[in-house]
Amino acid sequence: MDSKTQDSSKTRNPKWMIAVAAFAAFIATFNETFLNIGFTPIMIDFGIGESTVQWLAGAYMLGAGVMVPVSAFLYRSIPTRPLFLSVVGLLIAGSIIGGFALNFPVLLIGRIVQSLGTGLLIPIGMNITLAAAPPEKLGVCMGLMGAMTTLGPSLSIVFAGALLSAFSWHSLLWVFAGLSALCFLCGAALLGNISKLTHPKLDVFSVGLIGIALVGILYGVSAVFNGNILLSLATVVIGAVCLVLFVTRQGKLEHPLIDLRALSVRPFAIGVVMNMIALIIMFAMNIIIPFFLQGSLGVSPLSSAFTLFPAIILAAVVSPLAGKIYDRYGVKVLLPVGYAVTVAATVALSFCAGTGSLILMAVLYIFVISGLAIIIGPVQSFALSRLAPDLYAHGVTIISTGFQIAGCIGASFFSGIYAAAIGLAPVFGSAGGIQGFLITGCILAVLAAVGLVLAFRIGTYQDSAKARG
């Protein structure tokens, strides 16, 4: 760490830097689904169809996904504070462009600018937390980050529904611009230059390969149920080929864009998979439950949002508590409990949705989200703690890339499964929606069961680490 970095970091309180990082994680994940709730009024205002408005979600997802792999390079090349402020500045700029948009292309440009900031903000925030957190409190600090990444996309649905009940969709962009400006001011006042700058060389060809890989895979997964299946498969294949080329190239570079040696550390690799499983379930449920409530039960958008609200608030409490338990006892019991609760609650919710009881669904969803909140922060902490310090930034990049992929699979792919499952029903309407929810929920429960198996596996690495100690 150079002298300027050390001097700047000493003048800032690490607790406040972690708080800023957590706030950044919140607004980044909050924005993942915030504007999506306004798609219907946007279509009406601009006279466009559903296939066109979906580009707001698709372009945002692709832009964020492409930027994540570059985050490790930028974090090691630019001092923390100016990098953070520049990234948040992209969120502000994109929101202002979208807020003034009088046609769809301008709104799309604003959304893409936002996505560039979002793709960088989450990994930068995680790196700040890793650098500032005391080792004995890493679980609590990462639990706070986990709470924010759980709270953000969930709370945005509630908040957007409330805003749209009184204001136009433009209000979503102006409110987010205000949140981003607040984050900018907090970063300017409280962040220090905490990163260790190594000034690696940027391999542009690697950036191109991983960019094409992620665009191909994410677009193919998101469009498989909504467009040309052959085109979707073709983009996935192209993406997969580029991914193989990217992985091969990283092993030959002195300064790889992403140091994939991190994935050779078995507990880290398992932790990444477990984290993605939890995030897929979270994103899928946050999309499918409102679809079901509004489309099959005729519940208003605001009422469906408030059905999710108790679980969202409780998750913000459970995540730091889970981190505190992790700091004291590790993951051996914590992760199996989290996945066991998720499996049981997801199955129960899937079979009880047909009752039409909003109270019952709200209660069961509390257990689903609480189970996921127990998992996300601790599994990230444990996975990253298995890496050597020089691999931290690369580990964060891998986890953050997994976040984008999980968000795509959870939101786009599983909403497609839900729609397809409805089409299998003998009749449409409520019966079709019930069957669609049941089938989709059971698939998610099976996915959670895979996570449960991995949770028992990852606990053995904690035992082996103690034995070596």
Average pLDDT over residues 21-47: 84
pLDDT at 6: 44
Q: Give pTM, 2 decimals.
A: 0.82
In this predicted model, which residue has the larger pLDDT, 199 or 93? 93
Q: Of 206, 235, 245, which is closest to residue 397 (Cα–Cα)? A: 206
Residue 165 neighbours by CB distance under 10 Å: 11
Counting Cα atoms < 13 Å in the Cβ hemisphere of 104 gives: 18
Residue range 22-41: mean pLDDT, rounded = 83
Q: Which CATH superfamily is domain 262-469 in?
A: MFS general substrate transporter like domains (1.20.1250.20)
Count of CB atoms situated within 10 Å of the CB of 394: 24
Task: In whole angstroms, give the CA distance from residue 119 to residue 60.
Answer: 9
Q: How confident is the model at residue 425 (pLDDT cuts 50, 70, 90)?
A: low
User: How far is residue 122's CA from residue 153's CA, in Å, rounded to a whole number?
Assistant: 13
Tell me the C-alpha distance between 17 and 9, whole Å: 9
Higher per-residue pLDDT: 339 or 216: 339
- pLDDT of residue 227 exceeding 70, the answer is no
d(CA 138, CA 354): 42
Beta-carbon contacts of residue 461 (< 8 Å; ≥ 6 apart): 266, 267, 270, 386
What is the pLDDT averaged over residues 127-150?
Answer: 80
Which pLDDT value is given to residue 426?
A: 56
Whether 354 and 293 have beta carbons less than 8 Å apart is answered as: no
Q: What is the pLDDT of residue 182?
A: 96
Q: Which of 123-127, 220-224, 355-359 has the lowest mean pLDDT?
A: 220-224
Mean pLDDT of the chain: 84
Confidence of residue 318 (pLDDT cuts 50, 70, 90): confident
Task: Give the burial string for 32-52 (b: 16+ CB within 10 Å, else e).
Answer: bbbbbbbbeebbebbebeeee
Distance linking the first and last C-alpha atoms of the chain: 29
Backbone angles phi, psi at 49, to 5 degrees: -95, 175
Tokens read off for 179 = 């949140």
CATH topology of 1-202 equal to that of 262-469? yes
Would you say residue 205 has pLDDT above 80?
Answer: yes
What residue has token string 């029903």? 425
What pLDDT, on the 0 to 100 scale, is given for residue 51? 67
pLDDT at 10 > cutoff 60: no
Asked if pLDDT for residue 5 goes beyond 60, the answer is: no
Q: How far is CA 400 from CA 122, 258, 325, in A?
A: 7, 12, 24
Residue 428 has pLDDT above 60, yes or no: no
Which amino acid makes up residue 223? A
Instruction: Please tell me the distance from the alpha carbon of residue 40 to that of residue 43, in angstroms, as a whole number.
Output: 5
| 469 contacts: CB under 8 Å, gap ≥ 6 | none
- The residue ranges of every structural domain in the chain are 1-202, 206-256, 262-469
- Given pLDDT bands bounded at 50, 70 and 90, which one contains residue 467? very low
Give yes or no for a contact between 385 and 142, defined as CB atoms under 8 angstroms apart. Answer: no
pLDDT at 1: 41
406, 411, 416, 417 alpha-carbon torsion, rounded to 10°: 60
In the chain, the amino acid numbered 203 is: D
Most confident of 52-61, 254-263, 444-453: 444-453
| 83 vs 157, more confident | 83
Q: What is the mean pLDDT of residues 108-130?
A: 89
**Calculated CA dihedral for residues 441, 442, 445, 446, nearest 10 degrees:** -140
pLDDT score at 324? 84
Higher pLDDT, 405 or 276: 276
pLDDT level of residue 319 (50, 70, 90 thresholds): confident
pLDDT over 90 percentage in the chain:
26
Over residues 379-396, mean pLDDT: 87
Q: Residue 274: is its pLDDT beyond 80?
A: yes
Residues 6+ apart with CB under 8 A from 126: 21, 25, 142, 145, 380, 396, 399, 400
Look at residue 19 and tell me whether its pLDDT is greater than 70.
Answer: yes
CATH number (3.40.50.300, 1.20.1630.10, 3.40.50.800, 1.20.1250.20) of 1-202 reads: 1.20.1250.20
Mean per-residue pLDDT for 306-335? 83
Pull the structure tokens for residue 187.
């970063």
pLDDT value at residue 53: 78
pLDDT at site 7: 43
pLDDT tens digits along 158-182: 788 788 878 888 999 999 999 999 9
